[in-house]
Amino acid sequence: MAMTHNENPRVIARTVRTSPVFQPRTELAGAAGLGLCAIVLTGLVWPSVGWEAVVASLAMFGLASAIAAQRVHRSYPHDRLGFGNLTTMIRLVLTSVLVLPLLAGQDLSWAAFSIAVLALCLDGVDGRLARRQNLVSQFGARFDMEVDSLFGLVLAVNAGLAGGFGPFAILLGLPRYAFGAAALMYPWLRHDLPERRGRKAVCVLQLGTLIALQAPVLPTWLASILIVSTIAGLAWSFGRDILWLRAARR
């Protein structure tokens, strides 16, 4: 069901949810079920992964899926989930799989690196699929952003612990959550921001650095340069946005 320019997505969402079965939520639940099976199977074949890591990975995926299901039921304006949101769900599965070697205390591996690269490649696919199917929504954009943030956090913690790059590497995955925590105390931080190429460039730098830090052969000196450069870029990007939001509230 495509929206015309004058249709209200909230009205459409209420109309869709009056049906006995809200199809997007059903599709999301089915995708989540398949994702749970994929995580369990990966945990069974991944070397030296105990059941504790599998349970933790399942818990993280289950919680994220439950939040997504609640939000899709509340605000999604279309009558089908679409390939874009399903692709985002696949990225959530891959992110949860990366928790397995992390919690198992394993060193960096090419297997985890390959999964991270695959998740990054899919990052640019979901938006294009949503636009191609005319299923763009605020839910999809928020779902994509939250999975990106979780993906970055898992990579950052893995780089800091398994990669031995320390707390500065972990900092690379925290800005989005620190900004969200600050917004709870300062509501003006929740206002919409203008589109900026610089913000997108820093995001690419952040994920590119986090992916590079997953490689078992990355020299320490190169990792240090990437970490410092990315922290500087994140500080500049978030600082500029905070100053803009502060000025806009007046």
Distance (Å, whole) CA 247 – CA 232: 22
216: in domain? yes
User: How confident is the model at residue 221, as a pLDDT?
Assistant: 95
7: in domain? no
For residues 231 and 224, is the Cβ–Cβ distance under 8 A? no
Distance (Å, whole) CA 249 – CA 80: 37
Residue 30, domain extent: 20-248
Report the number of distinct structural domains present in the chain.
1
- 174 burial (CB, 10 Å; 0-12 / 13-18 / 19+) is middle
14: in domain? no
174: in domain? yes
13: in domain? no
DSSP letter assigned to residue 22:
-
pTM: 0.87
Tokens of 8: 């209200």
Per-10-residue mean pLDDT of the chain, 250 residues long, equals 41 44 85 97 94 96 95 89 95 97 94 96 90 93 94 96 93 94 92 88 93 95 96 96 89
6: in domain? no
Which CATH number characterizes residue 84's domain? 1.20.120
200: in domain? yes
User: How confident is the model at residue 30, as a pLDDT?
Assistant: 95
218: in domain? yes
